[in-house]
Amino acid sequence: MSRVLVLGADGFIGRHIAFALRAGGGHAVVAVARRPERLAAMGFAVLRVDLCDPACHTPAFWTPHLADGTHLVIAAGLLTGADAAFAAVHEAAPRAAYAARDGGRAVLISAVGITADTPFAAWRRRGEAVARAAGNVTILRPGLVLADTSYGGSSLLRALAALPVRRVVVGTGAEPCNPIHADDLASVVSDCLAAPPGAGPAEGAWEIGGPEHLSQDALSALLRSWLGLAPAPVLRVPYRFARVAGRVGDALRLGPVSTTAVAQLRQGIAADPAPLLARIAARPEPVSRFLCRRPAGTQDLWQARLYLLKPLLRLVLAAMWLVSGLLGLLLPPAAFTPVLAAAPLPEAALVMLARAGGLLDLALAAALLRDWRPRQVGWAQLALVAAYTSGLSILAPGLWLAPFGGLLKNLPVMALILVHLALAEER
């Protein structure tokens, strides 16, 4: 049984590769991730590594883990981030791991369409250059990767297909793709570890995708049908508007709603698998077959419908805290002290509490707009709303019976925060 170290094993593609290699029976998998607890709970041998940590940027760090012919699969990669993070994940850590191999083979998961003028594409190219310089590394460029689960771009495609009234495509809808299932990609990786195909025809890389080519529009219709939704006419979003949405997504950290995603969609996500398939045994299934291999469940439909509501919830909550903070800081005391006339506190103390609350509200708004530590910020929101509710219930219990809701509105606000908390984890 060969031993395989999988970097990025907690990512969408990395996790499928780790599971498939283990299930094949011929590999003992060591899952490398920044947070490997869930993988350990699933029975994997794990190695906790943050690829941005300079400690793992030397071959000495990896040597004990890549001894005696241990193979290496690098599925770690960033879509967005700072240059320092890109350099660490795509250059420094892989370079050190390649150098530490002791007879083992290696596979790098790159991507098609990396000629685009985006940081994602530029750093993928640099990652491939590191792999070519190391030697004996099979570079794979998958096209659109789908699976029974979804994440990032595949989740966005489901969400756009599941919109009410109309499904949305970016551009003309004619952009080509030939999706490959993540399990089929894992089979390709296994074959490349067993018998490396050598340098590929695309700058030393091999493209890999499924055998069925279809347009973005056709894939959207197929996804909608699989979700059990009635056919809907298509709404085509011109690229100039999509780029604006991508810039907003970049600024507000809206995940796959980004300029990178728009650039990838514009040039299509199609791969030419024929040269590689001529050298390996794996045979990927067409998307129309693997997509209908299982029925869509309620959880699939919920996820598709909630996916775009998640950032909307975050922005709505941010707007609420922003307005609340500004009111707390800027309203004159005469605007709110009469409401608290029965409170056993002097007016100066009430004003101080209002100003302090305003500052806390603005801090939460800023954290939400930057999507900073969403779980911790979610619990902080709940705690602050609960504190406001409890404090005002003591100071002015009549607010529960105030016209237009008063304190009663805090209950649905807390429910909304709980929903946003439930959506915080995407994997």
Q: Does residue 150 sit within a domain?
A: no
Q: Does residue 77 sit within a domain?
A: no
DSSP class of 385: H
Q: Does residue 353 sit within a domain?
A: yes
Burial (Cβ within 10 Å: 0-12, 13-18, ≥19) of residue 415 = exposed
Write phi, then psi, for 74 (nearest 5 degrees): -105, 105
Please state whether the predicted TM-score (pTM) of the whole model is above 0.85.
yes
Amino acid at 25: G
3-state secondary structure of 27: strand
3-state secondary structure of 135: coil
> For residue 310, what pLDDT is reported?
94
Q: Does residue 330 sit within a domain?
A: yes
3-state secondary structure of 74: strand
Contact 226, 293 (CB under 8 A): no
Total domains in the fold of the chain: 1
> For residue 342, what pLDDT is reported?
66
Q: Does residue 195 sit within a domain?
A: no
Q: Does residue 226 sit within a domain?
A: no
Q: Does residue 416 sit within a domain?
A: yes
DSSP class of 116: S
> For residue 175, what pLDDT is reported?
93
Write out pLDDT tens, residues 192-246. 999 999 999 999 999 999 999 999 999 999 999 999 999 999 999 999 999 999 9
d(CA 315, CA 312) in angstroms, rounded, equals 5
> For residue 391, what pLDDT is reported?
86
> For residue 341, what pLDDT is reported?
67
> For residue 12, what pLDDT is reported?
94
Work out the percent of the chain whose per-residue pLDDT is above 70. Answer: 98
> For residue 395, what pLDDT is reported?
81
> For residue 268, what pLDDT is reported?
78
Question: Which residues of the chain fall short of a pLDDT of 70?
Answer: 339, 341-343, 427
Q: Does residue 350 sit within a domain?
A: yes
d(CA 340, CA 390) in angstroms, rounded, equals 14
> For residue 13, what pLDDT is reported?
95
Contact 85, 52 (CB under 8 A): yes
Write out pLDDT tens, residues 144-202. 999 999 998 899 999 999 999 999 999 999 999 999 999 999 999 999 999 999 999 99
Q: Which domain holds residue 407?
A: 311-422
d(CA 22, CA 38) in angstroms, rounded, equals 16
